[in-house]
Structure 1
Amino acid sequence: MSEWIEPALIAEVRDHLLENPGPVTASAVATAVQRTGRVLGAGALLELVSRISAQLAGAGPIQPILDAPGTTDVFVNGPRDIWADRGAGLEPVPISLGTESDVRALAVRLAGLGGRRLDDSSPLVDVRLPDGVRLNAVIPPLSGDTTVLSFRVPRASGFRLDELLADGFVPAPAHELLLEVLARRANFLISGGTGSGKTVLLGALLSEVAADQRLLVVEDSRELLISHPHVVQLAARQSNVEGVGEVAMTDLVRNALRMRPDRLVVGECRGAEVRDMLTALNTGHEGGCATIHANTAQAVTARLEALGALAGMSPAAVRSQMATAIDLVIHVRREGNTRGIAQIAVPAADRDTRIEMLPVWDAGDGFSEAGVTAVRRLLEQRAAT
């Protein structure tokens, strides 16, 4: 049976060990206890060593949940308000992280493992941990009274297109069309909301690309899993604790173009890098692709216009670039625990450079004859060049 130990003592000992890094041994813990002026028996000392080790190793009590097969996300809304998604939707996890100071100490330590600082002068952080888990942390007062943590757990390996087909994520009628889009080196965007499967689908499609093609992948944080023999992945870097060393997505996209990519891949367009991506796809870089947040395929144009404004582009300039750079938009949607392709569309510009999304395939209506004709014409043009 575990012995009761004052939370205040645990916090003091933990803070001392964080200030004096080294192995969490009985001797080190005993020294820290002695500094507090308290006295513990042998049993209580061993219990304290166990608790401190759990708090200072990995993500502490959360680590077993992150390591469990099937876990995709873990959310900490408070010391006893913890949720996990193990593939069947969010469910509460009956564990305790102690006190708010314990949760904050965990967040600060994990941010440090990723080379970032989390304190009153830098109250939020988004960082990739050494084991690949992506952590977002926000501390009070921005997050109210409690520190809030969000963990995104990457898969050990990516999905293949055949797996997504068997799972129903990729509709059977559209399977051959997607393979032809890849073979003809068409440029495409995958749109959708958070957690809809954009990255999953992009990784699966890129895994089908011919082995003799060089893929240059640019991401804000490495998430794409691609089963391909020639992949170079570049990840943006935020400034360090001194406020220097930032490498932005725009810098990476420009640099990637100098690395002779057969396909330029932007993991997610979310800023001014959209200008460089559209320019590249308009200047001979075929087979390029990216993901973008949008609620529908029709909303992609407005989303690109908003991102283009961050790069100083006018809406008309964005639409003009988009009309000639993007051949296809694949929209994915999540409804409950079901994810999959909801629509495939072709951007078509009129004389006033307004963009209309011409449906090619829709989950409710199936194939559109006009849309299929348009996409076939595009693919034939790709084959001719």
Structure 2
Amino acid sequence: MFRNFGKRTEKAPDADTVVPLWPQNGSAAEAEPSAEDRKLSAFLELKSRMHEALIERLNLAVIDKVEPEELRREVASLVGDVLAEENNPLRADEFRRLVDELIDEVLGLGPLEPLLADPGVNDILVNGHKTVFVERAGVLEQTGVRFRDEKHLLRIIDKVVSRVGRRVDESNPWVDARLEDGSRVNAIIRPCAIDGPSLSIRKFSRDPLTLEKLVAGYALNAQAAAFLQALVEARMNILISGGTGSGKTTMLNAISASIDPRSRIVTIEDAAELQLQQAHVVRLETRPPNPAGGGAVSQRDLVRNALRMRPDRIIVGEVRGAESFDMLQAMNTGHDGSMTTVHANSARDALGRIEQMVSMIGMELPLPAIRAQIASGLQIIVQLARLADGQRRVVSISELTGLEGDVITMQDIFIFRRLGKAADGSIAGEFIPTGIRPQCTALLEAAGARFDRAMFLPEEA
């Protein structure tokens, strides 16, 4: 019935004539895979067969205990045997590449391992099994990395989430997880991901960023860094605010290095990714519901439990809901020096978001009472932004100064002032003090924090 659907002809085609379903105009040539694509597909097919053979022959129960060089020799020997059985010789470079990728498949995350090992890559974004993007220096670029098929990508996703006791399937098609180094992972599969599984990895630097390194990278200036260190030493409660990918967790890690090493710190996160350097740290992580729908542990549950653990400081990776109320209660009841992050586009928006989240607890607290809790619990808001050129900057450090009526008052101590665009397209600007001396100066001095009052003068910038 479809014989005449396609090119128009004056007469019906013969039975042996192939009639194209679509106008040609070069489309057939475009649809035919290139020689490079065919070669890559053949290599992926070979690697898949080798991987199945390795699973059958290797003792996976003890593979983690084998020395890397011994494992390489064992894998190379097995690959050589299988290639000999198939009468399929390979060049030396192809053989080495095959062995390397098979080891990555067995021990790591397969095709993603080279990207995870590349220090220049900040984010890895997998859009289906054929397309992988990375972010370098704030700019996205497509890579030549690909998976053999959708099943291959799903196997890698399952390997990631199962390591942290989580699952992803049709009944629970998305999941937040982490890698062993703390890198943040999000995966979503069909039916929610229409074009196939998607995997997003926010890499964590193996060498944690310090305030000194952030100053060297122009995220803020030395005076502002010294001020943040003084705030942490004086046990001020700090809220770090910013959009997605603006560097909130990185900043939280950096300023937490100034916490007294004798303090008992309890961290609470959805996926544990904070890299605190102190010895006395208790790390808590939420738990999703089990297949029966029970057993979930929320951040609010963990914040409540943390209050019974004799913490000196409580650090919540990010407040997203009702746990914000318990966090404010902790800040107002003796747990000074606590810190958390929130998604917001400005310091004022951050306060509005905290108000909304506290309202979610269902206690019908009056708005003036909520704002009074915020104004007394929080002292400092550090606002971050990811600029259009990919740079991550501190755009303001603001101090909450109290309430005037029902309005929380605040003042900017440091700001980032944009000056335009440089010749290379990057955003030019300077991070400067506003000239306002913070009200907490006396508290900083009383706590013995180290800072210079002159840092707040514009001419010292």
TM bracket, shorter-chain basis: 0.7 to 0.9
Name 1:339's counterpart in structure 2.
392
SS in 1 for 2:347: coil
Deviates more, 1:220-229 or 1:346-355: 346-355
Cα deviations by residue, 1:185-216 (Å, 9 ceiling, x for unpaired): 11111111112111111111111122222222
CA 1:363–1:94 in 2, change beyond 3 Å: closer, same or farther? same
Post-superposition offset of 1:93: 0.9
Is it true that 1:357 corresponds to 2:407 in the alignment? no
Letter in 2 for 1:337: G
CA distance in 2, matches of 1:366, 1:52: 52
Deviates more, 1:308-317 or 1:328-337: 308-317
Cα deviations by residue, 1:298-349 (Å, 9 ceiling, x for unpaired): 1111110121122225443321210100011111111123222110112244
Q: How does 1:1-385 map to 2 (within 5 A)?
A: 4=42, 10=48, 22=60, 41-43=86-88, 55-312=105-362, 314=365, 315-335=367-387, 336-364=389-417, 366-369=432-435, 371-376=436-441, 379=444
CA distance in 2, matches of 1:16, 1:141: 32
What is the RMSD of the two structures over their aligned residues, measured on CA atoms?
3.6
CA distance in 2, matches of 1:311, 1:190: 22
Deviates more, 1:107-116 or 1:219-228: 107-116
SS in 1 for 2:108: coil
CA distance in 2, matches of 1:145, 1:15: 30
CA 1:182–1:111 in 2, change beyond 3 Å: closer, same or farther? closer
Post-superposition offset of 1:163: 2.1
Letter in 1 for 2:195: D
Letter in 1 for 2:382: I
Percent sequence identity is: 33
Letter in 1 for 2:314: L
| TM-score, normalised via structure 1 length | 0.83
CA distance in 2, matches of 1:309, 1:111: 33
Deviates more, 1:349-358 or 1:7-16: 7-16
SS in 2 for 1:306: helix
CA distance in 1, matches of 2:441, 2:231: 10
SS in 2 for 1:269: coil
CA distance in 1, matches of 2:110, 2:104: 5
SS in 2 for 1:218: strand
Are the counterparts in 2 of residues 70 and 86 from structure 1 also a CA contact under 8 Å? yes
SS in 2 for 1:298: helix
Unaligned 5+ runs, structure 2: 1-38, 64-73, 418-430, 449-461
Letter in 2 for 1:61: P
Post-superposition offset of 1:135: 2.1
Letter in 1 for 2:439: A
Post-superposition offset of 1:82: 0.5
